[in-house]
């Protein structure tokens, strides 16, 4: 009997203990952790979905859209729902690497938040996914606004492109999700904050298989805020014309600006790339091919490539000599016989010019005259005057990536060659060769000192009425003398092929020696001579002589602009 009582008590205690445990667990689940599990249940039932903001449009100076948006289909993954089989299937359909897809969606900490793994998919891929959607658990397809560049590679270096944001950028920047694009290069990068907009969030109810049932009324959608439009100074019609005139040349850079206010009309670099390729997500191999191409299509030659100025630099050496009151326009040196001996080295000229004054030396681009002029005034006089014109400095353009070039002074030469550097280095500098390096944009801005009576513009691509200048401390009389000589270069000198019947063109030819191949052809010119509306700096790599190749191209560009004509239409139909 006692034994039965003991068994009964033991069983009773077990039942009571189990009941207490159940009650405590219930209290913990429903009261203490009720909110937590309620939230988890909600996450299974309610899904957040990003609403992509449309990026702001970009316009040229005449209101033509040069960057806009278009609709495209995307594929997203929900980590909490997808399995390995589905991931393999969708990777095969999309022709993407499985690990790449995994790495991408694992960056989103919220496993219930969809992460886009493919953009701008084809109609064929879309059809396959829709046919098999019931078996592709955790996969969603939707429509998003995608960046579109109607002019393809024509404006690629100016505009830049947009690419998928990286995990490191999300950590560093605010207001971005893993599904966003971010501007890279050009206007897209420099004006990212204005163009990008802010994504929105909507809340939808899903069933046990993750399929959407509908929007949830009690959770208000956070609307996306589209980016602001951006208006530029660029003339896309003129840029088209430049591209046509340079069509048969492999590598070139052209800057056209309004010398009165610094408006950039053309910023063109060749070769280029199609920025639309980045919109749907470029594969690593495709990126490596583009980035490592021998012609460097990603490189903006107009503001990043540093070239010797060649004979286009001679007017500045002459200006330095005049401003220092060390010569007059009538100054002569030893006769040009085509050769000049300095120690054991012979310096050559491209032609026997005979006895010349300063005007003749500029008009006919005599190297022998400028060797002697540079040696006569010295390195310090050259550098002190010319540095005030912006050489060796950034122009301040509102674009990323600009290089400042190099104006070699005495300290530089001593550091590179020792204190025994020779007069030969001054010879090279005096004709724009040797260690001198300058970008096409920098050269264009420096020449505005002649077009603008001493005022040098700060270039810009943002359409604005707030212009900036800096005035070089150079005598107006010296500038006026050089201006007359630049007109003579085109009227009767080496730049004759830039001559126009209806307008006075002022400019200077340049032929830059290139140790890696054929010479580079340069010409910088502006018109009309008395009140310029356009200034053009053109560099054509490995193209030959500036007078025979670059000068006629610049003449055509100036004529096209001043006559308000159009050569061709590059825009693609959407």
Coil, helix or strand for 508? strand
Closest CA to 154 of 240, 84, 227: 240
231 has which bridge partners? 59
Is the bond preceding 528 in cis, omega lying within 30 degrees of 0?
yes
The region, left, alpha or beta by phi > 0 then psi within -120 to 50, assigned to residue 59 is beta
DSSP tag of 550: I
Side-chain half-sphere exposure of 157, counting CA atoms within 13 A: 24
pLDDT for 214 equals: 54
pLDDT for 16 equals: 72
Given a contact cutoff of 8 angstroms between Cβ atoms, the answer to whether 267 and 303 are in contact is: yes
CATH node for 47-231: 3.90.1310.10
Please tell me the distance from the alpha carbon of residue 387 to that of residue 482, in angstroms, as a whole number: 17
Side-chain half-sphere exposure of 398, counting CA atoms within 13 A: 22
Q: Tally Cβ neighbours within 10 Å of residue 201.
A: 16
Fold of 236-562: Beta-lactamase (3.40.710)
Side-chain half-sphere exposure of 176, counting CA atoms within 13 A: 22
Closest CA to 321 of 309, 310, 332: 332
Task: List pLDDT tens digits, range 143-189.
Answer: 999 999 999 999 999 999 999 888 888 888 888 888 889 999 999 99
Closest CA to 571 of 2, 65, 56: 65
Per-domain boundaries in the chain? 47-231, 236-562
Q: Give the burial string for 245-276 (b: 16+ CB within 10 Å, else e).
A: bbeebebbbbbbbbbbbbbbbbbbbbbbbbbb
3-class SS string, 247-301:
CCCCCEEEEEECCCCCEEEEEEEECCCCHHHHCCCCCHHHHHHHHCCCCCCCCCH
The helix/strand count (H/E) of the chain reads as 20, 19
Closest CA to 300 of 235, 252, 233, 250: 252
Residues in the chain: 574
Please tell me the distance from the alpha carbon of residue 560 to that of residue 299, in angstroms, as a whole number: 27
Given a contact cutoff of 8 angstroms between Cβ atoms, the answer to whether 197 and 406 are in contact is: no
Q: What is the DSSP string of 87-128?
A: HHHHHHHHT--HHHHHHHHTT-S-TTS-EEEE-S--HHHHHH
3-class SS string, 25-50:
HHHHHHHHCHHHHHHHHHHHHEEEEE
What is the mean pLDDT for each group of 10 consecutive residues in the chain (574 residues)? 63 69 65 50 63 94 97 91 90 88 78 87 94 90 95 98 88 85 96 93 67 62 92 98 97 98 98 93 83 94 97 98 98 97 93 97 98 98 95 97 97 94 96 97 98 96 94 94 98 98 97 87 97 98 96 98 75 40
Give the angle subtended at the CA of 452 by the CAs of 451 and 454, to the nearest 5°. Answer: 110
Please tell me the distance from the alpha carbon of residue 173 to that of residue 166, in angstroms, as a whole number: 10
Q: Tally Cβ neighbours within 10 Å of residue 235.
A: 22
470 has which bridge partners? 456
* Helix, strand, coil in percent for the chain, rounding step 5: 40, 20, 40
Q: Give the burial string for 283-310 (b: 16+ CB within 10 Å, else e).
A: eeeeeeebeeeeebbbbbbbbbbebbbb
Is this model's pTM higher than 0.95 or not? Answer: no
């Amino acid at each position: 009997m006692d034994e039965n009582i003991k068994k009964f008590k033991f069983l009773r205690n077990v039942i009571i203990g189990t009941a207490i445990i159940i009650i405590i667990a219930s209290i913990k689940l429903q009261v203490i952790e009720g909110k937590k599990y309620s939230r988890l249940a909600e996450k299974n039932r309610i899904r957040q979905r990003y609403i992509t903001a449309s990026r702001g449009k970009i316009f040229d100076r005449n209101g033509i859209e040069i960057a806009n948006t278009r609709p495209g289909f995307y594929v997203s993954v929900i980590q909490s729902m997808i399995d390995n089989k589905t991931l393999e299937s969708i990777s095969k359909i999309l022709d993407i690497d499985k690990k790449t897809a995994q790495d991408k969606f694992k960056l989103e900490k919220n496993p219930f938040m969809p992460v886009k793994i493919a953009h701008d998919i084809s109609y064929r891929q879309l059809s396959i996914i829709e046919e098999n959607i019931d078996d592709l658990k955790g996969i969603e397809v939707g429509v998003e606004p995608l960046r579109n560049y109607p002019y393809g590679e024509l404006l690629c270096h100016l505009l830049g492109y947009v690419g998928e944001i990286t995990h490191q950028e999300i950590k560093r920047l605010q207001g971005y999700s893993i599904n966003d694009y971010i501007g890279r290069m050009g206007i897209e990068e420099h004006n990212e904050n204005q163009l990008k907009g802010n994504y929105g969030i909507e809340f939808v109810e899903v069933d046990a298989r993750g399929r959407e049932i509908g929007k949830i009324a009690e959770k208000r959608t956070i609307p996306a805020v589209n980016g602001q439009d951006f208006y530029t100074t660029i003339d896309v019609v003129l840029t088209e014309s430049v591209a046509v005139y340079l069509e048969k040349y492999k590598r070139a850079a052209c800057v056209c600006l309004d010398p009165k206010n610094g408006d950039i009309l053309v910023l063109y670099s060749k070769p280029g790339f199609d920025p639309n390729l980045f919109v749907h997500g470029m594969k690593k191999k495709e990126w490596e091919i583009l980035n490592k191409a021998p012609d460097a299509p990603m490189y903006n030659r107009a503001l990043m490539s540093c070239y010797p100025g060649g004979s286009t630099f001679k007017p500045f050496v002459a200006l330095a000599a005049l401003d220092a009151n060390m010569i007059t326009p009538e100054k002569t040196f030893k006769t040009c016989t085509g050769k000049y001996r300095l120690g054991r080295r012979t310096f050559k000229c491209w032609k026997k010019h005979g006895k010349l004054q300063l005007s003749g030396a500029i008009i006919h681009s005599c190297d022998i005259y400028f060797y002697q002029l540079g040696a006569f005034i010295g390195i310090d006089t050259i550098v002190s005057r010319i540095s005030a014109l912006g050489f060796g400095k950034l122009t301040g353009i509102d674009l990323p990536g600009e290089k400042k070039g190099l104006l070699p002074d005495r300290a530089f030469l001593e550091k590179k060659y020792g204190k025994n550097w020779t007069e030969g280095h001054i010879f090279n500098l005096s004709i724009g060769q040797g260690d001198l390096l300058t970008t096409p944009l920098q050269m264009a801005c420096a020449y505005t000192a002649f077009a603008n009576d001493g005022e040098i513009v700060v270039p810009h691509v943002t359409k604005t009425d707030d212009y900036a200048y800096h005035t070089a401390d150079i005598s107006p009389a010296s500038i006026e003398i050089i201006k007359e000589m630049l007109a003579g270069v085109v009227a009767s000198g080496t730049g004759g092929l830039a001559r126009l019947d209806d307008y006075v063109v002022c400019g200077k030819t340049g032929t830059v020696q290139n140790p890696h191949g054929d010479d580079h052809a340069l010409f910088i010119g502006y018109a009309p001579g008395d009140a310029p509306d356009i200034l053009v700096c053109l560099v054509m790599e490995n193209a030959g002589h500036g007078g025979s190749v670059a000068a006629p191209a610049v003449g055509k560009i100036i004529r096209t602009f001043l006559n308000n004509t159009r050569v061709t239409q590059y825009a693609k139909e959407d």
